[in-house]
Amino acid sequence: MAPTIPPLFKRPAQRPLVMGIVNVTPDSFSGDGLCLSPGGPDKALTIALQMIEDGADILDIGGESTRPGATPVGEQEEIDRTAPLLAALRRAMPDLPLSIDTMKPAVAAEALKAGASILNDVSGLRQQPVMRTLAAQSGAYLVQMHNSARPEAIANTTSLGAAYLAPEEQTIASIRQDLAALADEALNAGVPSEKIILDPGIGFGKSQQMNLALIAQLTAFLPLGYPLLVAASRKNFIGRVLDLPVTQRLEGTAAVTAISVMQGASILRVHDVHSMRRVVDMAVALKMATA
C-alpha cells in the first residue's frame, strides 16, 4: 500500500501543497535537467532534499522531458533515471509523498516498488487503462491531466522556446468535460474518488489566451469535486506575456501561483520551491482573510 498523503485537499482552510519538480533528464525545457552535470544522481538527491527543507510537501520525479520536440526515452532508461532516486528518497524520508511523472505503465510500476505514492500521468485522454489499474491496485493517488497537445503541432521562437499549438474549438467547458471523463474512467477502474487529482494541463495544447483563462477561471473546475493540480511554473505562456526567457520567469510564476491559490488550487507544481512556498502561504493568508 502506498504511503498516505495528508488529507488536505478537501479542507480549504489548510494550505495547498507545494510539489517540487526534480527533472532527472538531460533536456528539461527549464534547463534544470540533472542528467546534464557530473554526479547527476547524487546531485538530484541533494537538490530533492533541499526542496523539502525549503517547504515542498511532495516531490515529483521525472525521467523523460515532455517539452515540445523532446526525444522520447525508452522504458528501461526512464526507470534507470528515476527508480534509484525514488528509493534513496524513500530511505531518507519514509513518510514523504513521492510522485512519478511518467506516461509509461512499466515505469510507474517500478516507481511504485521504489516508493512512489502518486502517479502523475500527463497523457490525458490517451492514458493507458493499465495506469489506472496500477493506481487502483496499489492505493496510489492518480493525477490525470488534460492534454490536447500534438507532437507535430509546435511553434518555436528563439528567445521564448517552443510551445504546443492548440486545436480549434477549445473552451473551458470542453476541458472540464474531458477532465470529468478522465475522472469517471479512473473511478470505473477502481480508483477511489479521494485518490483522484485533476490537472487542467497548462501549456499542453492550449492557446495563449486559454492558458491564461485556465488560471483566471480555475474555479470552473471545482464543481467536479476533485483536488486541482496546477503546473504552470516557468512555462511558455508566462514568457510570452512578459517577453522573457525561461530563466527569468520567477515573478511571472509567482503571480500565477498566487492567483491559482486564490482560485482553489490544491497542489502547485513548481521549480523554485523556496520562493513559491512563501507565495503560496501569503496567498492562503489573503484568501482566508476574505473568506
Residues with a known catalytic role: 235, 269
Distance between CA atoms of 52 and 55, rounded to whole angstroms? 5
Strand partners, 59: 20, 98
The H or E element containing residue 74 is none
| Edge-first strand listing for the sheet containing 17-23 | 196-199, 141-145, 118-121, 98-101, 58-62, 17-23, 267-270, 229-230
Going by the DSSP 8-state scheme, the letter that residue 106 receives in this structure is H
The beta-strand segments (E) located in the chain are: 17-23, 58-62, 98-101, 118-121, 141-145, 154-157, 161-164, 196-199, 229-230, 267-270
Q: What is the dihedral of CA 176, 178, 179, 181, to 10 degrees?
A: 120
**How far is it, in rounded angstroms, from Cα 259 to Cα 124?**
24
**Closest to 233 (Cα-Cα) out of 218, 207, 215:** 215
Angle, alpha carbons 105-109-112 (nearest 5°): 135
Q: CA-to-CA distance for 37 and 102, rounded, in angstroms?
A: 22
| Cβ(135)–Cβ(191) below 8 Å | yes
**Cα(252)–Cα(81) distance, rounded to whole angstroms?**
30
